[in-house]
Amino acid sequence: MKRIMLNYRFIAVFLSLTAALYLAACGKKNEVSYYYHEEEVHISVGESAEMKLKNLPAGKTAADYQWTITGDTANVSSGIVTGVQTHPSKLSGKETVTAKMTSNGVDYTEVFMVVVEKNVDAINLKYPSITLLVGDEMPIKYTTEPETLSYDQKVLFTLSDENTAEISGDDVLKALSAGNTVLTAKTGGIETSCEVHIFDEPKTADEKLQYINSWQDSFSEVGELNDTVTYEREKYPGISIPFSDIPKTSGTKGSGKYIVVWEWTYTTTGVNSYTKPVVETTATCEFTAALPKNVRPVKWSDAEFMIHIKQGEYIQQGTYEKGIKAMLPVVDITLENMDGDVIETLGQIYGELPDKIALSTDVDPVPEAFYGSFPEESKVRNALSEMLKNLK
């Protein structure tokens, strides 16, 4: 009898332990694998995109997940999201796409943000091509039709060669190495592209001219080379060619090609004074970029003429009290041959003189002249641009 009772007790203990282990197993929680994709996926109506899973278990595919989406601007099937419609009030919709699956005791969840964009009629990059030196940076500028995109819509930029250039998060293009790449802008189911040319720092005169030619081609017409665009691009091409390096006698007779030599520097030092200002000039040829393409030389040996911007002679504009001469500063723009002989004066840009000057009564000796202020550099630049547009 005692043996039977012991067997019953053993069975009871065994069953209790089994039940406890079963309950513990049932109460155990699965491990959790969660991943949120920070980069939004942008699609237009009718366009599809694959939601690429980050933590996909071995032997599983996107079709093994349960996919859900929060709104009705898109649908999702086996990880493929397709734009259906834009949101009627927001003009585009931002939806949350969730993928879930349990495998081998792990609950997998991944979350994507999908934007269904408003379709656009056109997108245009600011320049037909872009030319930069290695290390240069330039904001990417564009327009769309219609002008206003929805609040969550973006223009996405890509490059065909990411070793040549890169695009930062704030849409700034940076030149990494010499070469060529293609910049593509896309939004609302429309895309457009332009070539990007990147140069090492030019060393020889012909290398500099090659860079200048490429830089100028980034404008659709010379008329854009006004003061506003110059400040947008910070400088003209940013390449200086000293006047002393120009081979004066290399012009080919009858080529009809020009270079532009800027040999004048705006200064506020010593102006509006009784002492003649000393202007330190630095000559460059970078404004050759402003010439129409058909009259720009490819090599210096092709250049026949120079358009020369330089400080002209002061012009006396009457006298002030005590016979002090009123001397007006002038900047000359002349057409010259490659030997520097003046063929024609194309224009003169004048500075300014005050109506009256205040001269102390005890000044002795009385100054011979009063020198006015030089014209603003922007005034000279715009006058030059207008002249260059008229070259045929």
Tell me the pLDDT of the chain (392 aa) as tens digits: 444 444 555 555 455 555 555 544 555 678 999 999 998 898 888 889 999 999 999 899 999 999 999 888 889 999 999 988 766 555 556 889 999 999 999 999 999 999 888 778 889 888 778 888 888 888 898 888 887 776 667 888 999 999 999 998 789 999 999 999 999 998 877 899 999 989 888 877 677 777 777 776 555 433 344 333 332 333 445 555 555 655 555 566 667 888 888 887 766 555 667 877 766 666 777 777 777 778 888 777 788 888 999 888 899 999 998 889 999 999 999 999 888 889 999 989 998 898 888 877 777 788 899 988 888 887 888 888 778 777 76
By three-state DSSP, how is residue 121 classified? coil
Confidence at residue 47, expressed as pLDDT on a 0 to 100 scale: 87
Q: Give residue 247's pLDDT.
A: 56
What's the CA gap between 138 and 66, in Å, rounded? 44
Q: Which residues of 338-367 are buried (b: 16+ CB within 10 A; e: fewer)?
A: beeeeeeebeebbbebeeebeeeeeeeeeb
Q: Give bridge partners of residue 133 from the DSSP assignment.
A: 199
Sign of CA dihedral 361, 367, 368, 373: negative
The domains of the chain, with CATH numbers, are 31-117 (2.60.40.1080), 122-201 (2.60.40.1080), 231-389 (no CATH)
Q: What is the pLDDT at residue 242?
A: 59
Helix, strand, or coil (residue 149): coil
Q: How far is CA 24 from CA 21, 27, 28, 38, in A?
A: 5, 5, 6, 38
DSSP 150-169: PTT---EEEES-TTTEEE-T
